[in-house]
Amino acid sequence: MKNGLEDVVAAETQLSHVNGEAGQLIIRGVSLDRLVEYARFEDVVTLLFKGLLGHVAGTVELGRRLGQKRAEVFTHVLAIDDALLQLPPVDIMRALMARLPDGDDLDTALLLLAAPAVFLPAVLRLKRGQAPVAPTPALSHAADILAMLGAAMPNSREVAALDAYLVTISDHGLNASTFASRVVASTKAGLTSSVLAAISALKGPLHGGAPGPVLDMLDAIGSAENAQTWLVQALDHGERLMGFGHRVYRVRDPRADALKAALQQLAAGDLAYRDRIQLAEAVEQSALSILKVRKPDRPLDVNVEFYTALLLDALRFPRDAFTGVFAIGRMVGWLAHAREQALEGRLIRPRSHYVGPLPQQAA
């Protein structure tokens, strides 16, 4: 038995490959560092859906249909009532998505892709007492998300930064939420059921719930001089440093560099943010040297969540919405994996090793 299924290969996939020793992420044959250079979110959707979800004539056509789906999803925003609004944003998104019909086709997939992108901005605005902003189908997915958040004219640097984020986190091998999506898909339950399982797995702090706490940590540390003492104390109290460590990577997570580059481009010329990046770099260096001494047998490096926190903060997402933004980007991976599993895989049904008491043997 492998606790946590560590190193167990549980699926064959053409979608993405995480090379933990080399620190490389390949998405359908393209290395992440290349992909973020040219791709927008719509390009990655086209790439990941290819051959799995109907026929899409190309990125432009996909963008047009995705825009229409955002408009369709917006009608569901009316279902957000006061009781629902008391929940954290990702829980509200999950509840709203559970109202969508199940299915296996491209239409369902595009509806599910559109759903978190429309629900999250609407929820954030309603929580602030503001009316939701309707989508503009002609905009790109990233630009429309920012427009629905309330940016009258989303600025191109912000759109590029959000696009870079969505592309970077679009897919990542058999992580916990993607595995959850594949388990449900293996029963042929449908795409909506699959991604609902995935979003539930995502919200935990060991997976997609880490970036909010990363920002809390940076705030608590406050200055570079304070980093060493603060980090040592946290580890002495048995805490984990959020934004560090990974099940598969034994070197730096390549997504951290992609997101740091996006952040630097976004924040170029912004003095307040330059200070923030310098603090993050100081914390990163201190944490890496402390972890090296404390865990000599377990290489622990920066993971995706560290610079996610800074990038999403710079884009003015509140920290309790970070997991929801992650869901907007990862939705494409969940859908592609669910479809791949349903088409090519078998029912996922492992066995357990019983360690409980046995019934009394009859004398």
Residue numbers annotated as active site = 246, 305
Backbone angles phi, psi at 27, to 5 degrees: -115, 110
Backbone angles phi, psi at 244, to 5 degrees: -130, 150
Q: Is 242 a residue that touches ligand COA (CB under 6 A)? A: yes
**Joined tokens for residue 230:** 């603060």
**Joined tokens for residue 351:** 């066995």
Using CB under 6 A, pick the residue from 23, 89, 243, 254 that binds ligand COA.
243
List, in sequence order, the alpha helices (H) in 186-270. 191-202, 211-221, 227-236, 254-267
Residues 203-232 that bind ligand COA (CB under 6 A): 206, 210
Residue 102's alpha-carbon distances to 70, 72, 98, 115, 194, in angstroms, are 17, 16, 9, 13, 9
Q: Is 240 a residue that touches ligand COA (CB under 6 A)? A: yes
Using CB under 6 A, pick the residue from 219, 298, 343, 344 that binds ligand COA.
298
Q: Is 300 a residue that touches ligand COA (CB under 6 A)? A: yes
Q: Is 173 a residue that touches ligand COA (CB under 6 A)? A: no
Closest distance to ligand COA from the beta carbon of 294 (Å): 7
Residue with tokens 């789906």: 69
3-class DSSP state of 343: helix
Per-residue contact flags (x/-) with ligand COA for residues 187 to 206, judged by CB under 6 A: -------------------x
Check residue 87 and report its DSSP letter. S
Nearer to ligand COA, 185 or 304 (CB): 304
Near ligand COA by CB under 6 A, which window of 24-32, 71-79, 94-102, 300-308?
300-308
Q: Is 303 a residue that touches ligand COA (CB under 6 A)? A: yes
Closest distance to ligand COA from the beta carbon of 4 (Å): 6
CA separation for the pair 238, 171 (Å, rounded): 31
**Joined tokens for residue 42:** 């719509």
Using CB under 6 A, pick the residue from 295, 320, 343, 344 that binds ligand COA.
295
Residue 332's alpha-carbon distances to 39, 66, 297, 303, in angstroms, are 14, 12, 35, 21
CA separation for the pair 73, 145 (Å, rounded): 13
Using CB under 6 A, pick the residue from 49, 179, 244, 322 that binds ligand COA.
244
Task: Find residue 25's DSSP bridge partners.
Answer: 18
Nearer to ligand COA, 102 or 239 (CB): 239
Interacting residues with ligand COA (CB under 6 A):
4, 206, 210, 240-247, 295, 298, 300, 303-305
